[in-house]
Amino acid sequence: MSNNSPIQNNADLFSSMLQAEGATAFICQLADEGLLRVSGQDAERFLQGQLTCDLRLLEVPGSSMGARCNPKGRMQSSFRLLRSGETDYLLAMDQHLLAGQLADLSKYAVFFKVQLEDISQTWVRFGLWGEGAEQALQQAGLNIPTEPDQVATGANQILVLRLPGSARYELWCPAEHSQSLAASLSGQVCAAPVEQWQCLNIRQGIGRVRLQTRESFIPQMLNLHLFSAVSFKKGCYTGQEIVARMQYLGKLKKRMFRFLMTGTEPLQPGTAIIDQGSGQTVGEVVESVYCGQQVEILAVVQKDAAQLETLCAIDHQGSLLTLTDLPYDSELADAETSTAN
């Protein structure tokens, strides 16, 4: 990448914010994900048949989490989708999945009036969080959405997305305006490593499909139905029959839990979780990051094994996993009780 790249220059600019004292807001570039744009007259109709979320419910602008499944209901990708215009959609996903998803979607796009484009180098995304995040946005002259998944527009096509949880925002910005955006936030925020943002996602119970876990999970295993990322009413989409059957027949035997582990080395996505007592594999890692003197983990685990005190990663057999809470545990319990009845 050229040293004149707006993305590279932002990294340099944010490094100057690292020593900000007393900062109550923090920012990082979300460079581990790429951006896919789907636009055109048939964009909504095309995506409705491909994705788990219901695009008809989105405001303009608006946002939703979602996934794309294979015919067996296994997720090929998960994403944060942002509807930036009547016929314009941006999907943020693991950068290592984007090329494959673009190629696969292109096979079906020929039957629709749509355009597909990888815009990872022409758009930039930032994560902003902390008690002072709202004040930083105000002082930068940006509009602030008031509810989760709401999007506010600003000058230079800057989009501000409010996330679930306390004072968390994503800023989506054309690359040519990213330096001025960063400059407007300078003095208000402190730069932080992306691992801190990933840790916040884990604590919110937000998992995502990575290259190593492609086609490993159905959406409910990542608890995506609790985020309105899966529609059971919109009609047919690829994998819909399997996803709906799992929802209504209550056959889900494993789902995502949050664990803590001593140590400093995060676990790679797809790492097997085993029960030391029996030696059996009972799950696999979704996300993991070192944060706050320990490793925080999201893992899809058999529901009847999650409470075991003998769980560990297959390549970390000396470090046991400790089950901890998710912010939506009560909603999960209610949903599972409702399905069982």
> The domain that contains 101 carries what CATH number?
3.30.1360.120
Give the pLDDT score at 297. Answer: 98
pLDDT digits (tens, 9 = 90+) for 203-214: 999 999 999 999
CA 117 and chain centroid, separation: 20
Backbone angles phi, psi at 52, to 5 degrees: -80, -25
User: Are 223 and 311 in a shared domain?
Assistant: yes
Please tell me whether residues 156 and 251 are part of one structural domain. Answer: no
Distance, CA of 183 to CA of 140 (rounded, Å): 9
Same domain, 25 and 106: yes
Which residue ranges in the chain fall short of pLDDT 50?
Answer: 1-12, 18-19
User: In 3D, which of 221, 217, 259, 206 has the Cα closest to residue 92?
Assistant: 206
What are 3's two structure tokens?
């040293």
- Both 41 and 176 in one domain: the answer is yes
Q: Report pLDDT for 17.
A: 53
Q: What are the C-alpha distances in Å from 337 to residues 212, 271, 333, 334, 340?
A: 32, 30, 6, 5, 5
Q: Cβ of 28: how many Cβ atoms within 10 Å?
A: 21
Separation CA 73–CA 218 (nearest Å): 6
Do residues 181 and 222 share a domain?
Answer: no
The pLDDT value given to residue 14? 59
144 part of a folded domain: yes
Please tell me whether residue 209 adopts helix, strand or coil conformation: coil
Same structural domain for residues 177 and 228?
no
pTM of the complete model = 0.93
In a domain, 64, yes or no: yes
Clarify whether residues 233 and 275 are in a common domain: yes
pLDDT of residue 165: 80
Residues 239 and 71: beta-carbon distance below 8 Å: yes
Residue-level length of the chain: 341
Identity at 334, one-letter amino acid code:
D
> Does some domain include residue 200?
no
Q: How many domains does the chain have?
A: 2
Statement to judge: residues 251 and 121 lie in one domain: no
Please tell me whether residues 187 and 231 are part of one structural domain.
no
Q: How far apart are CA 98 and CA 118, in angstroms?
A: 8
Point out the domain boundary residue: 193, 219, 253. Answer: 193
| DSSP class of 222 | G
Closest CA to 47 of 57, 37, 55: 55
- Domain range enclosing 247: 211-340
The CA–CA distances, whole Å, from 178 to 171, 184, 209 equal 10, 10, 27
